C-alpha cells in the first residue's frame, strides 16, 4: 500500500492518542464509555507538549525507511517525550519483542498505559529498558554528539536525531553542531538532525522559538549545514514528505560524491527545522489561558482531571478527537491505514542492531603484547619512565592492529601532544573535514583521533561509538575532565541498568586517561589542579567503575591493556606524563593488578612498626623517599610499604577483588600507625576507610588540599602535606606516641625536617626551581 499524507496523518493520530493515554489512563483505555474519575491515574506524570512533534517525525522517518530500505536509528533528545517514543515502539512491534504483553490488542494498550510512569513499570523518560535506545533521556543536551559517535565507522547507518529547541540551548548541544566537521562521508554514516522548534521550555519561550526563519537559516548555514524549514500549516504532511526526501537525497549525494568521485571536503549535511506548536492537537485553551502553542502544554495538561468534572470532560473530548476507534480494532489490531507506514520488522528503528551491542556489532580489540613497550625495572627506582610515553606507544600499536576492523578511536580535547600521546600519529592522525593548510600537522580527512575543545562533545562521541559496539579511550587533563562529570554520571546510570538486561549485549568500556595532574601543574597554577572527577566516580555504586593509579610506566601498560580488554565498565587511569622512576616490571604489575594492591617487598621489613601506603605515581615516589629518609634517621624502625593501584566504590583494590574486611588487618596490621599518601582529596580516601570501620585514630591520610598556584613540583607536595619531609614528620609523631622511637630523637628529626621545609621555601623563592637533592633523588633503601 502506498504511503500517502493521509496514511501519515492516521499514524500520527494513533500515536498521539497512545501518548496521551499513557499519561492519563488506568482504565477505559479505548474510551468505550464516558470517562470516570476511576479511569484516571492517581498521579499524573509525564510530558505531553513534545509528544506530537516526536510522533510526526517518527512517522515521516518510517516512510523514508520503508520507501528507501534504510538502515536507520532514532536518537531522541527530548527524553521526557517518552510516551511518544513508547507509542511508536508499540506501533512498530519493537516493544512486543521484549515485553510480550505489548501486543496490538486492547490488553496491549492497557499494558503500556498502565505501566507508564508507574512504580516498577516504565520510567517517564528514555532508559536502558527501552528497545533501540542508547541515550539516557533524563538530562538534556547529549543526543547530537551521541548520534555522531554512532555513525563513525558505520558507513551505511543513518542516525536521525531529534533535538528540542529547549535542549538546543544547552552547552553540549551548542558545541555538538560542529561535529559535522569531523565526519568523513567516505567511511562514516550520516546524522540527520531534526530541530523541533515548538517555541517553549518548561515555563518560558526558547531562543530558537523567537528567531525568524532567516535567522535560523543563517545560523545553521554558519554551522555548515543545509537547513530545511518545515512549518505547521494545512499541507504540512505533503510538505514533510518533500523535505524529508530532499534531506535524504542530500545525504545520498554527499556520500556518492565522496565514495565514487573523491569530493568530500566541507560537505553540507542537511538539517530539518520543524516548527509546530507545543502540545499540537491537544487542549487549545483552558481557564482563560492559551495551552497549545504555549509553555502550559509542556507537562501534564488538565492536572485535576481525576477530581474536576469539567477537566474530565475536556480530557474525554480531547482523546475522542483522535477517532482512535477508526484506526484500531480490539481484536484485529491496527488497520492498514496505520500499518502501511511501518517498515518491515528488520528495518524498524526500535530493533536496529547497532542499538543493542553484542553480536554482530561488537568485536574484541586486538591488543599488542604490553611487554613490547616495557622498560627495564630490574633495579627499582631507575629514572626514565614516562607513563604517557608508554601509553602512546601501546595505543599506536592498537591502531595498527585494528586497522582492518576500524573499531577503535581516541578522543582528546586538543591535548594529544601535550599529554605525550603523540606516538599514535605514526599510524593515524586527527580527523578534520574542513579545509587543510599546508602547514597543518597530523590532520587528515579520515583520522581516528577526535580532537575538539569541547569535552562534552567528545564524551557524547565516545558514548555513541562504544554503545554501538566499538572501543575508545578519552585522554584529558585531569582538571578539565570534571566538566563532563554529569554526563558520565548519566552514562553510569544507563550502564548499571543495561548490565542487568539480558537482551543488551556487550559493549566496550568507557576508558579515561587522566594525566597532566595537579601534582605536575604547578607551572599552570591553581586552575589546572582538580582531582574531583575520581571523587565522583568512586561514589558510583556497583562493580563496574574502577579508578586505577599505576605507579609507573610499566604498570600503566598493564592497566591500559586490562581496560581495553574489559567490557561494560567505566575505567579511569590516573598517571603522569613526566619522566619518573620505574618500580615494577610488566609481569609483576599484572599480578598485582589482579587484586589492585600489594606490599612491595623491596621497600618493606618484616613485623613493621609503621605502614606507608601510597595511591598515585607522584605520591608513591614521595612515600618511598620518606622511607629512605626515615631509614637513615632511625635505622631501627621497621617499615612496610603498601601500594594501592586501584580503587572502587567497594573499597581498596579492584571491584570484586577489593580488600575484604577480613584481610584489612593482614595488610595494614592490627594496631600499627598507617600513613596514606593519596593522589586526590583526603576525604575521598577517608570515606573508603570509614567503610572498613576505620576512624582516624592510627590512620593519617594526606592528599590534595587545594593548595598550589604557580610554584615548583616539590612545593606542590609541601603545600599539601604530601612531601617526603611531611611524611617523615607524620611518622615520627606516630612513632613517638607509640613509644617505638625515643621522644628526644623523634623531636630532633621533626625539627630537622621542618627546617628543611622552611629552607626549601627560601630556596625556590630565590632560584625558581627545586634543589638538586629533590630533582636528582634516587631510591636507595637504608637498612
Digit-coded pLDDT (tens) for 509-530: 999 999 999 898 888 888 888 9
Task: For residue 441, give Cα distances in angstroms to 61, 111, 418, 425, 445.
Answer: 41, 58, 14, 10, 12
Task: For residue 147, give Cα distances in angstroms to 58, 190, 357, 599.
Answer: 16, 9, 15, 46
| C-alpha cell read off for 20 | 496521551
What's the confidence (pLDDT) of residue 563? 98
What's the confidence (pLDDT) of residue 695? 61
- Segment 247-254 mean pLDDT: 98
Taking only the tens place, the pLDDT of each residue in 686-711 is 988 887 776 667 999 999 998 888 99
Residue 420 has pLDDT above 90, yes or no: yes
What's the confidence (pLDDT) of residue 694? 67
What are the start and end residues of each CATH 3.40.50.920 domain in the chain? Answer: 597-775
pLDDT classification of 676: cutoffs 50, 70, 90: very high
Taking only the tens place, the pLDDT of each residue in 549-604 is 999 999 999 999 999 999 999 999 999 999 999 999 999 999 999 999 999 999 99
Residue 233 has pLDDT above 70, yes or no: yes
DSSP letter for 205, please: B
CB 28 within 8 A of CB 36: yes
Taking only the tens place, the pLDDT of each residue in 305-335 is 999 999 999 999 999 999 999 999 998 999 9
Note if the bond before 646 is cis, omega within 30 degrees: no
- Segment 427-434 mean pLDDT: 97
Residue 783 has pLDDT above 60, yes or no: no
pLDDT classification of 658: cutoffs 50, 70, 90: low
Give the phi and the psi of residue 613 in degrees, each rounded to 5.
-130, 130
CB 609 within 8 A of CB 639: yes
Task: For residue 64, give Cα distances in angstroms to 56, 126, 407.
Answer: 13, 23, 28
Residue 436 has pLDDT above 60, yes or no: yes
pLDDT classification of 665: cutoffs 50, 70, 90: confident
- Segment 341-359 mean pLDDT: 97
What's the confidence (pLDDT) of residue 137? 76
**Three-state SS letters, 305-363:** CCCCHHHHHHHHHHHHCCCHHHCEECCCEECHHHHCCCCCCCCCHHHCHHHCCCCCCCC
What are the start and end residues of each CATH 3.40.50.970 domain in the chain? Answer: 5-341, 370-374+383-582
Taking only the tens place, the pLDDT of each residue in 528-537 is 889 999 999 9
What's the confidence (pLDDT) of residue 696? 61
Q: Which residues, in sequence order, are CB contacts of 531 under 8 Å at separation 6+?
A: 478, 517, 518, 574, 679, 680, 681, 704
Compute the distance between CA of residue 706 and CA of residue 703 in angstroms, rounded to an integer: 9
Q: What number does CATH give the domain 5-341? A: 3.40.50.970
Taking only the tens place, the pLDDT of each residue in 707-737 is 888 999 999 999 999 999 999 999 999 999 9
Compute the distance between CA of residue 237 and CA of residue 241 in angstroms, rounded to an integer: 6
Q: Where are the beta strands (DSSP E) in 465-577?
A: 471-477, 510-515, 545-548, 570-574
| C-alpha cell read off for 691 | 567503610
Residue 196 has pLDDT above 70, yes or no: yes
Question: What's the fold here for domain 597-775?
Answer: Rossmann fold (3.40.50)
Q: Which of 473, 438, 450 is nearest to 188 (CA)?
A: 450
Compute the distance between CA of residue 122 and CA of residue 318 in angstroms, rounded to an integer: 24
CB 620 within 8 A of CB 520: no
pLDDT classification of 387: cutoffs 50, 70, 90: very high
Q: Which of 81, 95, 92, 97 is nearest to 23 (CA)?
A: 81
How many residues would you count in the chain?
783
What's the confidence (pLDDT) of residue 655? 54
What's the confidence (pLDDT) of residue 328? 97
Compute the distance between CA of residue 320 and CA of residue 24 in angstroms, rounded to an integer: 14
Specify the 3-state DSSP secondary structure of 42. coil
Helices 387-401 + 553-565 axis angle, to 10: 40
- Taken in order 206, 207, 210, 212, the sign of the CA dihedral is negative
Domain 370-374+383-582 has CATH 1.10.10.10: no
Compute the distance between CA of residue 414 and CA of residue 402 in angstroms, rounded to an integer: 23
The residue ranking higher by pLDDT, 15 or 655, is: 15
β-strand partners of 171: none
β-strand partners of 338: none
Compute the distance between CA of residue 182 and CA of residue 179 in angstroms, rounded to an integer: 5
| C-alpha cell read off for 532 | 574531583
CB atoms within 10 A of CB 696: 10
Residue 656 has pLDDT above 80, yes or no: no
**Range from 140-154, 257-271, 662-676 carrying the lowest mean pLDDT:** 662-676
pLDDT classification of 781: cutoffs 50, 70, 90: low
- Segment 150-154 mean pLDDT: 98
Compute the distance between CA of residue 102 and CA of residue 55 in angstroms, rounded to an integer: 18
CB 574 within 8 A of CB 514: yes
The residue ranking higher by pLDDT, 72 or 138, is: 72
- Segment 40-63 mean pLDDT: 97
pLDDT classification of 136: cutoffs 50, 70, 90: confident
Taking only the tens place, the pLDDT of each residue in 79-134 is 789 999 999 999 999 999 999 999 999 999 999 999 999 999 999 999 999 999 99
CB atoms within 10 A of CB 89: 28
Q: Which residues, in sequence order, are CB contacts of 217 under 8 Å at separation 6+?
A: 227, 229
What's the confidence (pLDDT) of residue 651? 82
Residue 654 has pLDDT above 80, yes or no: no
Amino acid at each position: 500500500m502506498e504511503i500517502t499524507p493521509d496514511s501519515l496523518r492516521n499514524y500520527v493520530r494513533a500515536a498521539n492518542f497512545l501518548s496521551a493515554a499513557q499519561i492519563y489512563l488506568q482504565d477505559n483505555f479505548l474510551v468505550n464509555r464516558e470517562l470516570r474519575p476511576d479511569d484516571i491515574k492517581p498521579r499524573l506524570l509525564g510530558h505531553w507538549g513534545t509528544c506530537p512533534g516526536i510522533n510526526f517525525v517518527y512517522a515521516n522517518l518510517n516512510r523514508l525507511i520503508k520507501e528507501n530500505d534504510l538502515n536507520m536509528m532514532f536518537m531522541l533528545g527530548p527524553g521526557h517525550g517518552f510516551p511518544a517514543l513508547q507509542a511508536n515502539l508499540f506501533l512498530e512491534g519493537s516493544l512486543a519483542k521484549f515485553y510480550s504483553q505489548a501486543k496490538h490488542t486492547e490488553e496491549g494498550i492497557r499494558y503500556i498505559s498502565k505501566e507508564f510512569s508507574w512504580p516498577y513499570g516504565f520510567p517517564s523518560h528514555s532508559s536502558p529498558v527501552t528497545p533501540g535506545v542508547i541515550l539516557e533521556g533524563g538530562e538534556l543536551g547529549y543526543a547530537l554528539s551521541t548520534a555522531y559517535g554512532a555513525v563513525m565507522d558505520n558507513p551505511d547507518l543513518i542516525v536521525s536525531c531529534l533535538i528540542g529547541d529547549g535542549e538546543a540551548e544547552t552547552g553540549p548541544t551548542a558545541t555538538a553542531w560542529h561535529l559535522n566537521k569531523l565526519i568523513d562521508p567516505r567511511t562514516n554514516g550520516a546524522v540527520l538532525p531534526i530541530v523541533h522548534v515548538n517555541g517553549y521550555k518548561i515555563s518560558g519561550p526558547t531562543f530558537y522559538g523567537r528567531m525568524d526563519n532567516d535567522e535560523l537559516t543563517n545560523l545553521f548555514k554558519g554551522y555548515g549545514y543545509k537547513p530545511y524549514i518545515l512549518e505547521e500549516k494545512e499541507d504540512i504532511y505533503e510538505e514533510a514528505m518533500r523535505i524529508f526526501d530532499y534531506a535524504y537525497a542530500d545525504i545520498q549525494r554527499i556520500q556518492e560524491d565522496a565514495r565514487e568521485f573523491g569530493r568530500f571536503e566541507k560537505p553540507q549535511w542537511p538539517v530539518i527545522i520543524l516548527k509546530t506548536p507545543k502540545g499540537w492537537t491537544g487542549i487549545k485553551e483552558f481557564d482563560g489561558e492559551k495551552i497549545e502553542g504555549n509553555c502550559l502544554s509542556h507537562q501534564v495538561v488538565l492536572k485535576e482531571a481525576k477530581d474536576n468534572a469539567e477537566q474530565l470532560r475536556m480530557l474525554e473530548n480531547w482523546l475522542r478527537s483522535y477517532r482512535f476507534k477508526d484506526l484500531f480494532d480490539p481484536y484485529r489490531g491496527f488497520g492498514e491505514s496505520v500499518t502501511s507506514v511501518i517498515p518491515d520488522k528488520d528495518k524498524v528503528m526500535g530493533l536496529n542492531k547497532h542499538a543493542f551491542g553484542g553480536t554482530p556489532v561488537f568485536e574484541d580489540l586486538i591488543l599488542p603484547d604490553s611487554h613490547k613497550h616495557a622498560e627495564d625495572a630490574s633495579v627499582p627506582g631507575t629514572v626514565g619512565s614516562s607513563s604517557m610515553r608508554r601509553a602512546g606507544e601501546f595505543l599506536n600499536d592498537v591502531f595498527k592492529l585494528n586497522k582492518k576492523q576500524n573499531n577503535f578511536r581516541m578522543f582528546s580535547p586538543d591535548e594529544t601532544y601535550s599529554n605525550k600521546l603523540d606516538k599514535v600519529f605514526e599510524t593515524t592522525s586527527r580527523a578534520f573535514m574542513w579545509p587543510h593548510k599546508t602547514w597543518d600537522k597530523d590532520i587528515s580527512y579520515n583520522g581516528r583521533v577526535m580532537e575538539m575543545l569541547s569535552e562534552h562533545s567528545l564524551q557524547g562521541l565516545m558514548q555513541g561509538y562504544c554503545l554501538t559496539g566499538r572501543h575508545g579511550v578519552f585522554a584529558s587533563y585531569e582538571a578539565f575532565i570534571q566538566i563532563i562529570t554529569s554526563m558520565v554520571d548519566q552514562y553510569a546510570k544507563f550502564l548499571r541498568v543495561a548490565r542487568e538486561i539480558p537482551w543488551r549485549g556487550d559493549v566496550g568500556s568507557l576508558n579515561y586517561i587522566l594525566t597532566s595532574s595537579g601534582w605536575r601543574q604547578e607551572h599552570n597554577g591553581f586552575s589546572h589542579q582538580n582531582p574531583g572527577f575520581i571523587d565522583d566516580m568512586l561514589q558510583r555504586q556497583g562493580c563496574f567503575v574502577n579508578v586505577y593509579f599505576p605507579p609507573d610506566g610499566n604498570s600503566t601498560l598493564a592497566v591500559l591493556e586490562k581496560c581495553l580488554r574489559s567490557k561494560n565498565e567505566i575505567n579511569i587511569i590516573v598517571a603522569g606524563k613526566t619522566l619518573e622512576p620505574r618500580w615494577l616490571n610488566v609481569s609483576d604489575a599484572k599480578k598485582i593488578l589482579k587484586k589492585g594492591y600489594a606490599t612491595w617487598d623491596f621497600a618493606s621489613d618484616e613485623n613493621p612498626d609503621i605502614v606507608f601506603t601510597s595511591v598515585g605515581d607522584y605520591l608513591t615516589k614521595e612515600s618511598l623517599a620518606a622511607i629512605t629518609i626515615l631509614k637513615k634517621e632511625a635505622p631501627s624502625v621497621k617499615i612496610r610499604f603498601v601500594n594501592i593501584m586501584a580503587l572502587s566504590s567497594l573499597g581498596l583494590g579492584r571491584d570484586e577483588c577489593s580488600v575484604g574486611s577480613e584481610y584489612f588487618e593482614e595488610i595494614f596490621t592490627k594496631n600499627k600507625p598507617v600513613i596514606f599518601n593519596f593522589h586526590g582529596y583526603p576525604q575521598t580516601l577517608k570515606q573508603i576507610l570509614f567503610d572498613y570501620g576505620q576512624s582516624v585514630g592510627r590512620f593519617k591520610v594526606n592528599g590534595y588540599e587545594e593548595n598550589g598556584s604557580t610554584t615548583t613540583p616539590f612545593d606542590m607536595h609541601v603545600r599539601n602535606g604530601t612531601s617526603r619531609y611531611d611524611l617523615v614528620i607524620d611518622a615520627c609523631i606516630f612513632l613517638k606516641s607509640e613509644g617505638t622511637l625515643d621522644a628526644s630523637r623523634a623531636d630532633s628529626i621533626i625539627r630537622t625536617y621542618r627546617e628543611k621545609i622552611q629552607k626549601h621555601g627560601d630556596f625556590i623563592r630565590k632560584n625558581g626551581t627545586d634543589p638538586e637533592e629533590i630533582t636528582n633523588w634516587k631510591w636507595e633503601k637504608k637498612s
